[in-house]
Amino acid sequence: MGKLTTGRLQAFSDGVFAILITILVLDFKIPTYTAGHLLPAVLKQWPILAAYLVSYFYVGTLWLFHHDYFKTIALINRDLNVLNLILLFSVTLLAYPTSLVATTLQSGNLTDIRTALVMYDLVGAFISLTFVWLYNYMCKHPELKAKNVTDQFYQQIKHDPYRSVSIYVVALVVTFFSVVVGGILLLAGIWFHYRAYRHMNQLLESEKKKTVLD
């Protein structure tokens, strides 16, 4: 299989992200209530809204990440296609722990909440691992990169996914001792994805300025 341009890969990936966000919102259902008591019933659904908002932010960040990162790639080969499929598979798993967290927070059972958070940590770590594989692959295959992107760009961002994996692993371990602290570390892992995206975006802007000056 020869090298292809990124257009079809990005279009397919955008579709997967769009479907995932649609699946996330399906957790919203009309609550059981008696006449005149809809508001209390809706307020009891706050865990569903909280889990949705966190995962929506996470998925949105990952989509921005994916979109901007693949703009640095000019050609796609079979291996890169496979890596992208694995990455997308990992992201689609987010719907499951999102539902688990929402359901267990509503029940209030501490043991179940712990299990749900651990599942979310595992998925988050897996997603980060797929970025490790993607970043390392691009470092080893500079012939696939866009002409306006330097090898230094890939070197500057390649450690971010490792840091992300570390945060999720720490969150997972801590959750067995403290659900609250583990949950905070899980949120920190998701926030780190956003910070890593901003880091990559800033480097891309610098690359563009260098290209203009040259």
Task: Report the alpha-carbon distance of residue 87 to residue 137 in Å, rounded.
Answer: 13
Task: Report the alpha-carbon distance of residue 95 to residue 79 in Å, rounded.
Answer: 26
| Whether 3 contacts 78, CB under 8 Å | no
Q: What predicted TM-score, i.e. pTM, was given to this entire model?
A: 0.89
pLDDT of residue 45: 83
Tokens standing for residue 119: 């599942």
pLDDT of residue 116: 96
- Could you tell me the maximum CA-CA distance found in the chain, to the nearest angstrom? 69
Task: Report the alpha-carbon distance of residue 70 to residue 131 in Å, rounded.
Answer: 12
| Whether 21 contacts 59, CB under 8 Å | yes
**Amino acid identity, residue 14?**
D
> What is the C-alpha end-to-end distance of the chain, expressed in Å?
35
pLDDT of residue 8: 84
Give alpha helix (H) positions in 2-109: 7-25, 38-43, 46-70, 78-92, 95-107
Phi and psi for 165 in degrees, rounded to 5? -60, -40
Question: Any idea where the domains of the chain sit in the sequence?
Answer: 7-213
Q: How confident is the model at residue 118 (pLDDT cuts 50, 70, 90)?
A: very high
Q: How confident is the model at residue 25 (pLDDT cuts 50, 70, 90)?
A: confident
pLDDT tens string 75-98: 888 899 999 999 999 999 999 999
Please give the share of the chain, as a percent, with pLDDT higher than 90. Answer: 51
Q: How much is the mean pLDDT over the chain? A: 88
pLDDT tens string 172-184: 999 999 999 999 9
| Whether 42 contacts 31, CB under 8 Å | yes
